[in-house]
Structure 1
């Protein structure tokens, strides 16, 4: 079957799709979208964070697909997608996503889910397309302006690994094969992530200038902001480094100073998003879900907020 004849709007599909000079990996699942009074049910579009791709979101996709059509993809250079010939700015990333959705015939409106740097990217999507195409958003543990962590914090990990220390190895809900694929992607994605990170500050500033605090860029369209509280992860990393004598005294002190106000600063930075909509709410992750990576530890938290934005829950 020719690529142009393949339908991404029904059934479950996984594969790469051409957007011109290169191909991007796309995953589609969930019921066929229905129209009510001529209005098409929104498609849910997932935008992963820095160095992350579709595999991290498999558990979330499964849960959302029970009630809504959901799409996730690998940005160019990540996972199963080809590298991009263009600079990895937020503007270019969203232009590529737009081409991908157009070529897959996934029409608006959309509910956008953005995690970490993906929160910047979904706001860039809103900047380019407006609330007419963006029916709502779920922003997951993404501050309006991210306060940098000390550059020497990785030395506190020593001979262990971040996922083991913060509890992801123990608390994830993926299958063994799925979780191993996530970790393999993380290592494979590093070169592209370093390139993308070099554009993050400028891209974030551009989005923030276009969507300042105050004006309701989403209008009455619903917005949920989920606070995962990344300080919990870094407190575990700090405690691990101290307990095992990893990192220099300076590295330990640098992270200790960041932790003094990390939770407060991050919460304020995420609450700033709420003003984009007249219908917004702020959700605290609880228990094991208190992690920056709740997408594969507590996917039900994200599902519940997606369903609230879609109007599919009783909340």
Structure 2
């Protein structure tokens, strides 16, 4: 039953093995059938990355959370694979009694986590729609491997936030950005980010073995899917320039990195448009002023995605 009292801004939810921190913003849903938003960040990222998006969604209940090991959430006894993260997310939703249909808004590695979540829970009434923010899927590292050792050699030891232009182009308030940077620099954050980094590549193979792409029917049926593509080459170009100025990489490593940069946007477009096969009802949008972190530099596009999902849902009722 809806309540007029404001929700607590954050609460620790026991999922059986440890506590996860859940953040709640926005008004109570009008009914048990009203969609709510659930934000899932990417690799090595806490809920602070969504601050700009949350401010643009004042009229709908928005949930976000810190994965195990980040900020107020406790360490998990399980390794942070996408499969285990999806398990913990399902337990968080259950134990927090979030019963309204979810508009999942996921970024980067969150795309793999979302697919693992659907593989675990099914495409039932608990799912309303999906907003994919330059998100990964099964084939991402096969087509556009940003972990490539030659690329990393050129990018090593640089300030990536500056090189990618995020410090100057983000849409967070000064207070929100300060909180984001302080959190990224903490020992707790960096430890968990390293743990996730180890589990990141194998998580793709685990998902591929489920063979979700081979299903005759789209994984999301006719539920609306909004796909946002960032310009990968925009980020990589800035990092390449700074890396070369520092003398990073051999000539061969620079050649490989340059080739990857020159083809990155075309390859990413192929990957992002493959997300449209998740549903019979989808929309593709290019974030022309953003690299990978669209939620930081063009949060309004993410908010527009939620608005489009709600509009499509209203047409279905």
Question: The TM-score by the shorter chain falls in which range?
Answer: 0.7 to 0.9
Counterpart of 1:207 in 2: which secondary structure?
Answer: helix
Which residue of 1 is the match for residue 225 of structure 2?
A: 223
Change (3 A) 1:314 1:173: farther
Change (3 A) 1:244 1:165: same
Which residue of 2 is the match for residue 237 of structure 1?
A: 239
Distance between the aligned counterparts of 1:52 and 1:164, measured in 2?
17
Which residue of 1 is the match for residue 278 of structure 2?
A: 276
Distance between the aligned counterparts of 2:8 and 2:285, measured in 1?
30
CA contact (8 A) 2:158 2:242 kept: no
Counterpart of 2:56 in 1: which secondary structure?
Answer: helix
Which residue of 1 is the match for residue 10 of structure 2?
A: 14
Structure 1: stretches of 5+ with no match in the other structure: 1-6
Change (3 A) 1:273 1:158: closer
Which residue of 1 is the match for residue 84 of structure 2?
A: 92
Distance between the aligned counterparts of 1:193 and 1:158, measured in 2?
17
Residues 254-293 of structure 1: pairs in structure 2 closer than 5 A: 254-287=256-289, 290-293=290-293
Query: Aligned-pair distance for 1:93?
Result: 0.8
**RMSD of aligned alpha carbons:** 2.5
Which residue of 2 is the match for residue 212 of structure 1?
A: 213
CA contact (8 A) 2:233 2:262 kept: no
Distance between the aligned counterparts of 1:154 and 1:176, measured in 2?
30
Distance between the aligned counterparts of 1:165 and 1:257, measured in 2?
19
CA contact (8 A) 1:22 1:83 kept: yes
Query: Aligned-pair distance for 1:272?
Result: 0.9
Distance between the aligned counterparts of 1:276 and 1:136, measured in 2?
11
Change (3 A) 1:180 1:109: same
Residues 127-146 of structure 1: pairs in structure 2 closer than 5 A: 127-132=119-124, 133-144=126-137, 145-146=139-140
Which residue of 2 is the match for residue 30 of structure 1?
A: 26
Which residue of 1 is the match for residue 180 of structure 2?
A: 182
How many pairs are equivalent? 303
Which residue of 1 is the match for residue 162 of structure 2?
A: 164
Q: State the TM-score, normalizing by the size of structure 2.
A: 0.87
Query: Aligned-pair distance for 1:223?
Result: 0.1
Change (3 A) 1:42 1:313: closer
Counterpart of 2:213 in 1: which secondary structure?
Answer: coil
Counterpart of 2:83 in 1: which secondary structure?
Answer: helix
Query: Aligned-pair distance for 1:103?
Result: 1.9
CA contact (8 A) 1:94 1:121 kept: yes
Query: Aligned-pair distance for 1:83?
Result: 0.8
CA contact (8 A) 2:90 2:121 kept: no
Counterpart of 2:22 in 1: which secondary structure?
Answer: strand
Query: Aligned-pair distance for 1:68?
Result: 1.2
Q: State the TM-score, normalizing by the size of structure 1.
A: 0.88
Deviates more, 1:13-22 or 1:272-281: 13-22
Counterpart of 1:76 in 2: which secondary structure?
Answer: coil
Change (3 A) 1:158 1:130: closer
Of 27, 30, 46, which residue of structure 1 is paired with 2:39? 46
Distance between the aligned counterparts of 1:254 and 1:221, measured in 2?
40
Counterpart of 1:17 in 2: which secondary structure?
Answer: strand
Change (3 A) 1:79 1:218: same
CA contact (8 A) 2:25 2:61 kept: yes
Please list the CA deviations of residues 146-205 of structure 1 after superposition, one character each: whole Å capped at 9, or x if unmatched: 232332545545764101111111111222232122123223323222222333333223
Q: Structure 1 residue 111 and structure 2 residue 108: aligned?
A: no
